Structure 1
Amino acid sequence: MKQPLGVILAGGQATRMGGGDKGLLPLGGGTILSHVIDRLEPQVAALALNANGDPKRFKHLNLPVIPDSITGFAGPLSGVLAGLDWAASQGASHIVTAAADTPFFPCDLVPHLLQAAEQANAQIALARTPDGRHPTFGLWPTALRDDLRAALNNGLRKVVLWTDKHGGTTAHFPDDAAFFNVNTPDDLAKAETML
């Protein structure tokens, strides 16, 4: 399999942070999103950002900004679908997704997901730690994008219901803290100390 494309999922509503783009909040001399980009970009062939609203607010990142194609707030699977459609237009077979509010995920995320999928002969692989699955961190095939579109249009919102239906596997990571995500102002303060 060729190196997958990367898609950062930033389409959430950030209600616990008072709205706006969590990824653009300052963290350690950059932003949460700049840390995510620095970790994912070296692991993928190309990178895009899934975000809704005015894409100009991300212009400084020099990344393609792809909005959800499903109307209404359909959750992370809608961002996965947008990424799959973008990747298919680039001729890619797979994407790897990462959440825009999780600045410490592993620098070997992509090889671990690829290895897990290959070993299980699976099309989809999600990150897992002792705490459980992290469904916004996954390997997804563009070949399933029409199936996902149909599922979303039929009201499906839970990631693992769809991945389990397609025999998804998991890649195990030992450290729960690696997938710490910033949801509240207290989390942001904790992220500063974790840096």
Structure 2
Amino acid sequence: MNSQLELSRKSQRFLDDLRTYLFTNRKSLSDVDEIINDLENHLYEAERNGKPIEKVVGKSPREYMKMVSGELATDNKNWFKYICLIIFGSFSFMIFPDIMSLNLSFTVLEIGSHIVISTMFILLAFSYFKYNATKDRPIANRVILQLGMVLLLSAISFSIIYLNKYIDSPIIHFGPIGSLLVAVIMGLFLIGLVIWASK
């Protein structure tokens, strides 16, 4: 975005919301930057000529966002990279203490629940940002939504921890050598994933 252009607070808020909306609709970051920069110039010219933002984006910002989103191709390939980074990155942090002590072990329930919680987090976060981008909600409403998301994920996490103590789920044990091998594989995998994601 061109930092030399000074826009009104309303126009800047619209650009931020549009960027968030396109981002959560899995659009290419380069395409998003191109659209934002182009629109920023149009809004700057309009404001300089005394025209309101509606003259550029119409009376319904939400419809404008949908229109722009529909014109851009969905970048599922890159978004798959980001999702993999989130899930496997968080999983590596979860097992890091056990790997360091060379005493890695976890249940099948723990693995499955981690994948489910990570996926839910991604979906809820995307839905939250997408929802806020198209609706001008008071700060109090946004805080309530955020708190609701945190409480929901926390409740699910604690429920799984509780269930893991009482459900007889198969346990996968790794000895010192197995833990070390997992650490090396996980490290190489994350390095490869980061390199792949940066392309």
Same fold (TM over 0.5): no
Q: Which has the higher contact order (CA 8 A, sep 6+)?
A: 2
- Bigger fraction of residues in helix: 2
Provide the TM-score with structure 1 as the length reference.
0.22
Provide the TM-score with structure 2 as the length reference.
0.21
Q: Who wins on radius of gyration, i.e. which is larger?
A: 2
